[in-house]
Amino acid sequence: MRFAALFGPAFASALLCCAGAALAGDATPAPIPSPADCSAVGVADASRILGFAVVGPDADSRAGGICFFASRAISEDGSVSYAIVTDAQLPQRRGFFGALARRCGSVAHGAPRELICKAYVDLALAKDLDAYFAARTSFADASPLPDLDATAIATADALYLRRPHAVLEVAVSRGGDFDLERSTELAKLLLARLKP
């Protein structure tokens, strides 16, 4: 799974530790944005959407900008997560993806990880939300979902929507697999509750 780690506590911790520089030559520390506000969709809604009881996002997840709701048996039952990525969070995300891109330095042309490594580079260099959204949705398996929203695009791992001042990232996982139907339900709830 390309970005499975992006929607869990490990991702949040990695974001915090790697927020310093998007690329090896950039030593300017990124400002740390405020923790994610997870009030739009809370524990009760996340539990209903998943079909299993979940716990609320921990401090590390929220500090990484992610509202991550885990079930007790996450590998069997699943998880619910969403992020509202704004301009303020881009430096932090560039730092995280820059660290991943540096680890891809020895990936050869034609190697299985070539496309994901290219995405890491594109995400590390994304200077605005349009570039970030394009990098998140640039995979061959990306599918538009016009019935949900004109900007909605699903990949094998997540659902993305472009809003005027944010990119919404939504992922509901059941039994280790991305669940598009439940992710769409979560996205609809977010769209209904977020301020324009």
Number of domains in the chain: 1
Does the pLDDT at position 70 exceed 90? Answer: yes
DSSP string, the chain: -TTGGGGSHHHHHHHHHHTT-SSTT--PPPPPPPPP---SS-HHHHHHHHTS-EEPPPHHHHHTTEEEEEETTTTTT-EEEEEEE-GGGHHHHHHHHHHHHHHTTTPPTT-TTHHHHHHHHHHHH--SHHHHHHHHT-STT-EE-TTT-TT-EE-SS-EEEEETTEEEEEEEEETTEE-HHHHHHHHHHHHHHS--
Task: Give the domain range for residue 153.
Answer: 4-193
Task: Convert the pLDDT of each residue in 115-168 to its tens digit.
Answer: 889 899 999 999 999 999 999 999 889 999 999 999 999 999 999 999 999 999
Is the pTM higher than 0.85? The answer reads: no
Task: Convert the pLDDT of each residue in 6-49 to its tens digit.
Answer: 444 444 334 434 433 444 445 555 567 788 999 999 999 999 99
Task: Convert the pLDDT of each residue in 170-179 to its tens digit.
Answer: 999 998 899 9
